[in-house]
Structure 1
């Protein structure tokens, strides 16, 4: 498949979902600035030819700063092209991801009132030997990309991470390299701004991990991490952070259970199988371009 055919088939997916013109207005970004960003990256070897929607995501995530957006895009593709464990072979029907679905639940929730994406994750297998961090992170990135493509640019993202059932064994499963790469991606390459991280059912275990990672977490992210103990007041959480209508019933919310939301999420990812395959071919085309 040549590069033009790859781009043509990708456009079918990118042209679905949100309306580009409406999104420009909603995030107060000019089309001319999107084009300036696109042109600025045309001669960067590691970056493939970009759709305007992809440029808009990064420009919005960089508060309209073209130079900052260009920097993030370069970092984005640098990590994508050198991190097969996270961004290659993103097939929802693969043995690795099917295994991940069985031990770790994830779902995208309704948009929060502040126009943020909301994601929730939790471990459902206490046996740490079944936990593969790389596959979990890969799956989360697939979900986030799908939400962007469906809804368009938003104010940022809120992550809710439930630590109930996580053991010390889980902490020793990821490699140091994977942890550092994932932090680097989230902080310096993702098109989504991290507006809040809520850790539910925190314990001494999380405090241990948090203290180890603290030197590698930038201030912007560190300042929006909220740690909640198992005896937290969920009514207060709904009032201050994420409203009841955005939360699964397991947590006192109005949505279906996380089991149901997770199952629906797997269906969504599976329906996007071709997109993930084409997207990989697309960014690999830049590797070929830079090697010529």
Structure 2
């Protein structure tokens, strides 16, 4: 049985999302033209970017032209700053194939009744080493780039379910704060993500301690969007049980099937990913001062405050 990857909103759901995203059908093409013209005038940024991606950025910033410009600038800046995330993005490479066999993190096919996209992230191997973290983040951003291309009508936001079942003290000791900082800046400041909820399942005192350490560095609104579940049944109060995979008591496709479908999809984008490697900021041409990456990523020892829409 083939498994869909990105079911799109239609009908009444899309009408509700359109209102939430502040989309005006009469002005969106003009907004797109404005952003394209702005991009052409930036000496340090690519002259052209796919219209579908630009529309995703406009929707993700609720059609605020200034927010859209900042996100796009950061998007191309991160592609220069983090080559470990944005080069060699070929899913058939052994190191990426290996990660997909040990970590699952693809979006579920459907949408919640209010148009949210749900992604469940979990590890399958208790012995997985944290030196694969950059490739895990690379895969997550590859999926993000596919969504920029394919979510043609946009979604009402994102919900992430983090399964901590295989996380151990050894894993936490091996985590790279720099890699995590870079990834968080990528996701929250360079991609048009509207993060609505984070749910943590199969938790433990260790995970809860980690969350409490991170919380002071998060803005208040995101703190209030983190939910810890001692029982999987309480997750159903936020996400319809029927759309969840069978591993979580739902009637949807299994995470294995969803992961395999995404692996096939990513393979079809191999040439696209290769071509995209040249689309990045050229700091030497940036008006004013070049970006200071140490400041951007908080490499002085402090976490950068996350910017949440």
* Shared fold, TM over 0.5: yes
The correspondence for 1:40, drawn from 38, 41, 46, is 38
* Structure 1 match to 2:182: 181
Deviates more, 1:125-134 or 1:185-194: 125-134
* Structure 2 match to 1:65: 64
Give, in whole Å, the separation in 1 of the partners of 2:252 and 2:131: 27
Give, in whole Å, the separation in 1 of the partners of 2:74 and 2:163: 29
Higher helix proportion (structure 1 or 2): 1
Q: Which runs of 5 or more structure 2 residues have no equivalent in the other structure?
A: 1-6, 9-13, 287-309
**CA positional deviation for 1:221:** 2.7
Give, in whole Å, the separation in 2 of the partners of 1:210 and 1:101: 25
When normalised by structure 2's length, the TM-score is 0.78
Say what the alpha-carbon RMSD is for the aligned residues. 2.5
* Structure 1 match to 2:101: 102
SS of the residue aligned with 2:175? coil
When normalised by structure 1's length, the TM-score is 0.83
Give, in whole Å, the separation in 1 of the partners of 2:184 and 2:221: 13
How do 1:1-292 and structure 2 match up within 5 A?
26=18, 27=21, 28-29=23-24, 30-48=28-46, 49-109=48-108, 110-129=110-129, 132-152=132-152, 153-229=154-230, 232-234=231-233, 236-238=234-236, 240-281=237-278, 283-284=279-280, 286-287=281-282, 290=285
**CA positional deviation for 1:130:** 6.1
SS of the residue aligned with 2:277? helix
Judge conservation of contact 1:134–1:178 (CA < 8 Å) in 2: yes
**What are the Cα deviations for residues 204-244 of structure 1, in whole angstroms up to 9, with x where unaligned?**
12122212322332333332121112xx152x422x21112
Instruction: Tell me: CA distance 1:237–1:127, structure 2 relative to 1, closer, same or farther (3 Å).
Output: same
Q: Which runs of 5 or more structure 1 residues have no equivalent in the other structure?
A: 1-16
Give, in whole Å, the separation in 2 of the partners of 1:64 and 1:288: 27
Judge conservation of contact 2:60–2:194 (CA < 8 Å) in 1: yes
Give, in whole Å, the separation in 1 of the partners of 2:246 and 2:232: 15
Deviates more, 1:33-42 or 1:155-164: 33-42
Give, in whole Å, the separation in 1 of the partners of 2:81 and 2:175: 17
